[in-house]
A and B are shown apart, each in its own frame.
Chain A
Amino acid sequence: MKNLYVTGVAGCGKTAIALGIALKLKREGINVTYFKPVGSRPRLQGNEDSDALLMHEILDMKADVKMIAPFTAGTSYLSGLKNQELALASIKESFQAISGEADVVIIDAATFPHVGATFGLDVVSLAPLLDAHILNVVKVENDLSVDQAIFFNSNCAARGLKLIGHIFNNVPRQVLAKTEGVFKPVLEKMGCATLGIIPMRPEIASPTVSEYYEVLGGELLAGEENLGRLVEEVIVGAMTMESALKYMRRSANKAVIMGGDRADMALATLETSTSALILTGGLYPDVKVIARAAEKGVPLILVHYDTYTTIEKISEVSRRIRPGDFTGINIAVENIEQHCDWRLILKSLKEE
């Protein structure tokens, strides 16, 4: 059988799709393993790739975690410390070991399909080496997202690679109809198969408060019990009370960032649907704010940098499925079973 290379742009939900397909195939009695040839972000704590860790555990793989994710192309990987031959060699070696265990290897791409191109480690260059067909995950933002899919599709075709199809992932409800009625037919006309349209589920699309807390650090002053809450929106409370309340009331399950000295704003915010309150500047809040947050069970995070830095850091936060996250894992499989043509995926892998 062929292996499956799952690719797409940053934030499209590749790992969740890879996980869903892997588990689905496993349930179908196929021996599946996971491989991530090129990671893209260096980890601050620990050297192990969190996706690799997750798959290692869930697929019960014997290979070492370092072997599952052998190479990292960080944003300065061309500075001379990395060597192209060594990189390629270690990827090949690891892949050998991992594919040895399995019928199918699900290969997870880097943040973008082009990452690693200088070393010949981009998706299009690696796919033939890893004996894989390609599956593209589309993040639907607007009409241009479809252009991207088609462009990638033609690129693969030109290189003689098989792109078995596209999955529209995390589609907001308001564009479901357009995806079905406009985007899918357009793709088809251009000779691209749509393998699935997966509606957005906040349960796996939105990061939890604890994911924010991990990135931000700082002190947790209240609401320890609710770190599992989902954050669907982030609002910066740097306005007058009057206009702030308008925004606060209109958005649900939000994290709100504001200076620690704004007791009035913090109290008002706590009266609206809030998943977390992030206080900046290291300004210890009024006791009343802490007491109210505790009463309402809203996590209150005090960070020591300014609001701008906080927002910058927050842009790194994204939802990652973890080994113990059964809801997330179940939804990932459900999405493949209910919204994707997994039979067709399986059939394409069986075809040489």
Chain B
Amino acid sequence: MGETSSFTNPRSLAVIGASNTPGKIGNALVKNLIESGYKGRIYPVNSREKEVLGLPCFATLAEIPEDIETAIFAIPARKALDVALACGQKGVKNLVVITAGFKEIGREGAELEKEFLSICRQYNMRMLGPNCVGFIDTHTPINATFLKGFPPKGEIAFISQSGAILASILDWSQTAGIGYSKILSLGNKADLSEVDFIAEAADDPNTKVILCYIEDVSNGPEFLKIVPEVTKKKPVVILKSGTSQSGAMAASSHTGALAGSNLAYDTAFKKCGVLRVSSMSELLDLAIAFANQPVPKGDRVAVVTNSGGPGIIATDRAELNGLQIARFTKETIEELRSYLPAEAGIYNPVDVLGDAKADRFRFALEKVFKDENVDSVAVLLCPVAVTEPVETAQALIEFSRAYPEKTVIAAYMGGQALAEGTKLLTDNGIPCFSMPETAIAAIAGMSAYRKMREQADAREKADDFKPDQKTVKAVFYDVSRDNRLALLGNEASDVVEAYGIAVAPTALSQSPDEAAEIAEKIGYPVVLKIASPKILHKTDIGGVMAGLQTPEEVKNAYVNIMETVHRYLPNVVPYGIEIQKMVPKGIELIVGMTRDVQFGPLIGFGLGGIFVNLIKDVSFRLANGLTSADIAEMISETKAYMLLKGYRGERPVDIAAVSEVIRRVAILARDFPEITEIDINPVFAYEKGVAALDVKITLS
């Protein structure tokens, strides 16, 4: 993002609404700018002041003799548009709009925000906010916020949609001594959003890890394009709130976020290599780990502890989080055995026992760090009378320096007795938590990032094929002529068949005679299903009759279904009845697509049949850029995979054909953006080939 490259490092600044009155935002802003040691020029603007905090004050922007790169708004919303125009005329490049009273207050505010944005577009200005708290860059240095305090220099960039969270983090970090490279408050995201600043932080040499707190992603397609490139370079950790039902409601009344579906966010983040966390503490723990330690080369973790309990907790948690407990080399085990007391644990976890002083820790650590089967080390220390927390910390720091490629996280489990040791570790770049599970979670999070990056590298582009788009267009034309959104079963079958997906032969009939005629043509046995886009669950209302063998049975079934359906749904006028040839039973699968407002089509695959909603064995991926590696992965994630491979003596089915169905549904969804939903349930999978039975398609 070239446009924002100098966003946090402007040459000159105007503070509109600057004030001498303590307690006013316009006062706090100027004070923070001065105190942060900002080297550029600061121009306070306020018609009622001659001077603000010792700086000459200007009545209007136009009177400032120099070009202004960035203007900070600390004025009421009703004045904002006039000032924005003045900024445009003055040639200001960037606006930081602290002012509230826009989209977050409702309709009038939303109108105002729209006008504001159009002025920005007209003059080619970029805007942060409105309704934000500003930004901080510790390396520039600049504090363009009205928050209290300035964090130490560091390598964590924090981008937040909530200003209040920033205020707390800032204050808390000062006590904890955690440094930041940049802090950005997004506010209403009228123009610039998380993706712009994630991209900027990616190119920032002072940033090692990017943290975000967001309530929604403003521009799904842009996010999907830019963020995967960023995560190849550095980790992006996101806390996205609004995941629970009531959470979504809270989010909608907060900064005014659109309720995107949680599943879509999970899938999209995964695709982008973003680490998603679910709590503030995880977010910060991971930030500290990434900022200070290398990403582990593998999943193998070694645990060194002076007590059994925490060691077991740590190993349990490691396995739960997808890490492996490292298996030491024979040499390591021999050395540990020769020196440690007989009752010590010499396998992983290494238990140096409660009476261990620093020298015993030092010995064990040396062997463990040296072991080539170890990718990361977790050190757990409980305070007992003989424990030497500071000396142990020193040993740890030494080995961490000697083996810079190995990840080290400590957990000093205690308070006062361990405070000095804890501080020594954190000051020397070794994250030190107070609980074993936190330490393991940090290693697991870093490892997950590595895995996502490796997978991204391994992905190749899927080759496309030539589908029969004409047929699909013709069907869609018929549907739109009827003013319908839902396709009839036979229409939907035609559509997927045009994309090379094998379907059980299906046709629509409008009379008993026609039904019998069709049945004769496609062959018995057949199943009859009521045809109406208004009926979602046909079986529930007697709309399906199966196993029909003769023309007479077909005709009777036709009338029977019509009358039963009418009894249940008197106001629905069916289109007729679909006749489908019955095919042999295979493994019942579901392949579906649902279109997300933010991230586009999502493809789902899993165990099908009528219990699909009960069993919920479905995995999802984004349809765009879906590769064969993705498809293989999504199949293997489900329990259905066990069935496909041949469960309890059954023969395996044609997984290649199943993959092809998934791939083609994805291509169909990509080719026709008007499709909002596809549901193929069931698809029967056989030893050779597949057959789609019930296809539902909905258009927008």
Q: Which positions in A face B, CB cutoff 8 Å?
A: 141-142, 172-175, 177-178, 181-182, 202, 222, 232, 241, 246-247, 249-253, 263-264, 267-268, 271-273, 286-292, 294-295
Contacts and interface: CB of A to CB of B under 8 A. Distances in A.
Contacts of A202: 483
Contact of B106 (A173, A177, A241, A291): A291
B510 interface: yes
B597 A271 contact: yes
Contacts of B259: 264, 267-268
B536 to A, nearest CB: 7
Interface in B253-296: 253, 256-259
Interface string B500-541: 000000000011000000000000000000000110100000
B105 interface: yes
Interface stretch (B117-125, B197-205, B244-252): B244-252
B208 interface: no
Q: How large is the interface on B (under 10, 10 to 19, 20 to 34, 35 or more residues)?
A: 35 or more
A294 B110 contact: yes
A294 B113 CA distance: 14
A242 to B, nearest CB: 9
A175 B573 contact: yes
A288 B256 contact: yes
A141 B483 contact: no
A172 B698 CA distance: 20
A287 B352 CA distance: 60
14 contacts: A174-B510, A174-B576, A182-B511, A246-B677, A249-B677, A250-B533, A251-B486, A252-B485, A263-B253, A264-B259, A267-B252, A273-B485, A286-B253, A290-B106
Contacts of A263: 248-249, 252-253
Shortest 9 CB-CB contacts between residues of A and residues of B: A287-B106, A174-B575, A291-B110, A250-B486, A288-B252, A252-B485, A172-B573, A263-B252, A249-B698
A173 B482 contact: yes
A247 B33 CA distance: 54
Interface string B659-680: 0000000000000000011000
Contacts of A287: 104-107, 253, 256
B423 interface: no
B190 to A, nearest CB: 13
A61 to B, nearest CB: 36
Contacts of A249: 485, 676-677, 698, 700
A273 B574 contact: no
B510 A177 contact: yes
Contact of B252 (A178, A241, A264): A264
Contact of B483 (A182, A232, A250, A295): A232
A177 B574 CA distance: 13
Contacts of B575: 174
Given A251-B534, A294-B107, 14 more contacts: A142-B566, A174-B510, A174-B573, A174-B575, A177-B510, A181-B511, A222-B107, A249-B676, A250-B533, A264-B252, A264-B259, A271-B597, A286-B252, A288-B252
Nearest to A250: B486
Contacts of A174: 510, 573-576
B103 interface: yes
Nearest to A178: B510
Contacts of A291: 103, 106-107, 110, 256
Nearest to A253: B483
Interface string B222-251: 000000000000000000000001001100
A264 B253 contact: no
Contacts of B257: 288
A267 B110 CA distance: 16
B107 A264 contact: no
Contacts of B451: none
Contacts of B574: 174
A288 B251 CA distance: 10
A273 B575 CA distance: 22
Nearest to B571: A141
A192 B3 CA distance: 77
B107 A290 contact: yes
A250 B245 CA distance: 23
Contacts of A177: 510
A39 B586 CA distance: 62
Interface of B: 103-107, 110, 245, 248-249, 252-253, 256-259, 482-486, 510-511, 533-534, 536, 566, 570, 573-576, 597, 676-677, 698, 700
Contacts of A253: 483
A267 B252 CA distance: 9
Contacts of A252: 483-485
Contacts of B511: 178, 181-182
A214 to B, nearest CB: 23
B536 A250 contact: yes
A294 B111 CA distance: 10
Nearest to B106: A287
Contacts of A182: 511
Nearest to B510: A177
A182 B252 CA distance: 54
Nearest to A262: B249
Nearest to A177: B510
Contacts of A288: 252-253, 256-257
B102 to A, nearest CB: 10
A264 B249 contact: yes
A182 B562 CA distance: 15
Contacts of A247: 536
B217 to A, nearest CB: 15
Contacts of B534: 250-251
B114 to A, nearest CB: 9
A273 B574 CA distance: 22
B564 to A, nearest CB: 13
Nearest to B257: A288
A66 to B, nearest CB: 36
A267 to B, nearest CB: 5
A288 B485 CA distance: 27
Contacts of B249: 263-264, 286
Contacts of A241: 245
Nearest to A144: B566
A286 B245 CA distance: 15
Contacts of B698: 249-250
A288 B257 CA distance: 8
B560 to A, nearest CB: 14
Nearest to B246: A264
B214 to A, nearest CB: 16
A246 B570 CA distance: 21
A190 B245 CA distance: 60
A232 B110 CA distance: 30
A272 B699 CA distance: 10
A288 to B, nearest CB: 5
B131 to A, nearest CB: 13
A292 B511 CA distance: 46
Contacts of B482: 173
A251 B698 CA distance: 9
A267 B259 CA distance: 7
A55 B532 CA distance: 38
Given A142-B566, A247-B536, A250-B533, A295 B110 contact: yes
A247 B693 CA distance: 21
Contact of A251 (B104, B245, B253, B485): B485
A268 B575 CA distance: 29
A252 B575 CA distance: 17
B454 to A, nearest CB: 34
B263 to A, nearest CB: 10
B700 A273 contact: yes
Contacts of B105: 287
B354 to A, nearest CB: 53
Nearest to A252: B485
A249 B534 CA distance: 11
A202 B481 CA distance: 11
Nearest to A172: B573
Contacts of A272: 676, 700
Nearest to B250: A263
